[in-house]
Structure 1
């Protein structure tokens, strides 16, 4: 939005340069007046509204209370509640899918939210039952360790078996750490973090580990037997195995951390992004006005407490085992639920056809039918249903549609954001050099990643279309109105070109 200062600056420009040649530190300027520049920010579109009424009653009430109490985006509260519900039942149930196959109920949710959206507070409320259960496990683990120590000290013939590590919620653990936790006896874990950038930018996601890590995370979503070989010599190497374990994921991160991951061709190629429910809720920052009563109210309402109590009870439910392997109950689909899911699958398939709404996005949306089935199974298991009914599937499909629309929106603005960022880098670079340089100088000394023509085509095209730059007589010129209107920001560290060009 152009403020009074910018309008005044524009008026001065018009008064001083109107009808005359604008020279910007060089005599190479065009004889024509510069047109007004247009904004080059990407059109991010309008985020969809999360269908809170599609959630089961207890989950809906908890999400609404969390959103009302924290003034966070309702979709942020709903995603946290959904992730916690998935974790609470993933170790006990699977859901029926196409051709009588069974699928885990584990969900992988990626939430893009700026700093200050109260991600930590939302997580604290939504995962209250999880943290209480983890505390209970920690006490039991400490007691068992004491019993083991005493038995060993007394040289008893019976030494109690150790309990698995009680840390069932991991935030920034490496992939090796996840495998080790499973290998030591856990069969269900939650990768929850309100600082998801720590995991996405951590050891497991470094360039040399990225391909393998993304592949392993995809396999966790699928279930089954997995193995992870530790680095070492032939004689000392160790292999960690996870036998059909479950991993629920909810990573909340700022756009700067998640957007590169969403645009990562490796993540797409490995199929991980298709296995994720991705969204970026509309921000509520600037609208979170509170009354004194709201300020003093206890955010842990009866509805949030009820949700926490059920989560804790479900996590504490005994796990069925047969010869060490977890035996999970299967939630079948009713005929009505199957018909709804098939209709949704066909709807998505038709949209993938040429000229369809989802054309060219198969690598991002080819799991949406299974996502709907998993969400439906989560709803059914959490509400103590023995099968997935038609209405339950319809609600799950509405939630799946929400995440699908958000995935498509974010996928489309990703390239725009990249081009806009590069365009601003070019503009800043030119501004630092008084707005006019030979084109050859840019190719030789400009920002390193944009020196090749093929790498800067989109940025240059965007700048020219928005009336920011032009090329004439071998010179590259920056519209001086961009600086006068305050449209050029400080350069990003590391984006400057090399100094000392002639």
Structure 2
């Protein structure tokens, strides 16, 4: 690459004819990602997320994801949302948080889900007693059934009459309808399910469940996402987001079935290397699975999480905002669900009506316009296509957490700010992925040199950020910066290799 280009004589003013342009060629720039709008989560969720981020010392967006995901899990069995004439569906939400090792994902998740974990612990304490009672009830039921069958058998060689057979059939049908069912497992959430495991959980346990994991690689790398099972798992999880019935087809009698009225929310935390593979997976992209997720990836706080000036006696369990969040979440997750005889949830329908609908329609149309060929969200259309529906779901979750019967204009507008954040962040990440990665890395190296005296010596490569410390990584980027006019070689080694560099134009 040349350092400058000579303009054609006829393209320059007379006074500049023949002059060589020596200005450095521009490098690709990273767009500044927006800040997560915690205030849009409201007084209950937003204040709790802010305080959790402070106490755990995690990025604010991670905390926002965690509390909103927990709230969706708590309310999804209580209400469905109707978007005027444009359909109705669950308020379930799917989240994906990308954060590196040591970012305290587990600590944050544990606190955000504390009321749900507490309820699960209480259920576990009573589970052995329930299992024992079920075992006794089933043994009594089996003895009763066997005794009726034995009593109905004809004496001697007399065949059973038609009326006797009919009576036995009706009696057994009545008894079979009374067969004791095992108590549900105490867990509301699971982390590494297969499609069959999800089906069984929603069939026999809690009809409103959560796919939650602070190590999401367990889900994406587990048996349920193996080559054999990933298609079934992705299809089932996607159907649950849509609110559609899920099916299971098996060869053995009684193993097939259809489940309606089940709900699932999800929050999966992934390390960046795993997230890159997941987000680039053609199957997950092609089936629209990833487009259902609201994704956060924020800059790391590692190196800034200092304890100086903090009161060691005041932690999250002493914080009024977190206590208020825990109290409300506990109230919601323990609220009884309306369940029919088949085990299906019948949530209360919530309408986005009147002025709130007008606000939602305005948001919908703005997203639609920005999804056009010239729009901001043209490269993230799969996510944009579900953004308005996600906004309706978020608005309903916010409303129910705050004690409202249905979303107001304020809830719609706040949900719109959150969805705008998710779409804008995704658009920036997608644009960066299409840029020249090496050019972006060269810019980052240049900024480091500028911030450290404007000079770099080869023996100081070990002082560079970790991704540039080896000569094999640093030298190609430095050569690129010399070729583009940003650096000049300031000295060479006895072997003739560049040994020091300084900012171009500086002596």
TM-score strictly above 0.5: yes
Structure 2 counterpart of 1:180: 200
- Per the alignment, residue 389 of structure 1 pairs with 408
CA contact (8 A) 2:291 2:386 kept: yes
Q: How does 1:228-239 map to 2 (within 5 A)?
A: 228-229=248-249, 234-235=251-252, 238-239=255-256
Q: Which residue of 2 aligns with 1:288?
A: 305
The DSSP-based 3-state class of the residue aligned with 1:48 is: coil
Q: Matches of residues 79-98 of structure 1 in structure 2 within 5 Å?
A: 79-98=65-84
Q: How far is the alpha carbon of 1:405 from its aligned partner?
A: 1.3
CA distance 1:197–1:160, shift in 2 (3 Å): same
Match of 1:351 in 2: 370
User: Runs of 5+ in structure 2 lacking a partner?
Assistant: 1-23, 145-177, 443-476, 484-494, 502-507
Per the TM alignment, residue 95 of structure 1 is displaced from its structure 2 partner at its CA by 0.9
User: Do structure 1's residue 126 and structure 2's residue 112 form an aligned pair?
Assistant: yes
User: Which residue does 2:155 correspond to in 1?
Assistant: none
Question: Is this contact kept in 2: 1:103–1:222, CA < 8 A?
Answer: yes
Q: Secondary structure at the match of 1:321?
A: coil
1:391 Cα deviation after fit: 0.7
Q: For 1:340-419, list aligned pairs within 5 A.
A: 340-416=359-435
CA distance in 2, matches of 1:420, 1:484: 22
* TM-score under structure 1 length normalisation: 0.72
2:334 paired residue among 316, 333, 343:
316
Question: Structure 1: 5+ residue runs without aligned partners?
Answer: 1-36, 424-461, 469-479, 487-502
| Partner secondary structure for residue 247 of structure 1 | strand
Aligned length: 400
Map 1:118-157; keep pairs closer than 5 Å. Answer: 118-152=104-138
- Report how far residue 161 of structure 1 moved: 3.8
Q: Identify which range, 250-259 or 144-153, moves more after superposition.
A: 144-153
Q: How big is the shift at 1:380? A: 1.1
TM-score calculated relative to the size of structure 2: 0.71
**For the aligned residues, what is the CA RMSD?**
3.4
What is the distance in 1 between the residues matched to 2:496 and 2:274?
32
Contact 1:108 1:277 in 2 (8 A): yes
Does the CA contact (< 8 Å) of 1:179 and 1:241 recur in 2? no
Asked which structure has the greater CA Rg, the reply is 2
1:275 corresponds, among 273, 286, 292, to: 292
Residues 344, 369 of structure 1: 8 Å contact kept: yes
Conservation of the 8 A alpha-carbon contact between 1:95 and 1:332: yes
SS at match of 1:287: coil
Structure 1 residue 192 corresponds to structure 2 residue 212: yes
* Deviation at residue 168 of structure 1 after TM alignment: 1.0
Deviation (angstroms), 1:241: 3.8
Q: Which residue of 1 aligns with 2:283?
A: 266
1:173, CA displacement in angstroms?
A: 2.4
Judged with a 3 Å threshold, the aligned counterparts in structure 2 of structure 1 residues 54 and 239 are, in CA distance, closer, same or farther, namely same
Deviation of 1:409 after TM superposition, in Å, equals: 2.2
Q: Closer, same or farther in 2 for the Cα pair 1:181/1:412, shift >3 Å?
A: same
The answer for the alignment partner of 2:88 in structure 1 is 102
Structure 1 275/463 Cα, relative in aligned 2: closer, same or farther at 3 Å?
farther
Q: CA deviation at 1:240?
A: 5.3
Q: How far apart are 1:388 and its partner, in Å?
A: 1.1
Equivalent position SS for 2:316: coil
| Aligned-partner Cα distance in 2 for 1:122–1:482 | 49
Please say if residues 192 and 219 of structure 2, whose CA atoms lie closer than 8 Å, have aligned partners that are also in contact.
yes
User: Structure 1 residue 338 and structure 2 residue 357: aligned?
Assistant: yes
- Alpha carbons of 1:139 and 1:159: their partners in 2 closer, same or farther (altered >3 Å)? farther
Deviation at 1:284, TM superposition (A): 1.4
Pairwise CA distance, 1:74: 0.9
Q: Does the CA-based 8 Å contact 1:141-1:166 persist in structure 2?
A: yes
Q: C-alpha distance in 2, partners of 1:277/1:95?
A: 18
Change (3 A) 1:180 1:152: closer
Instruction: Indicate the residue corresponding to 1:500 in structure 2.
Output: none
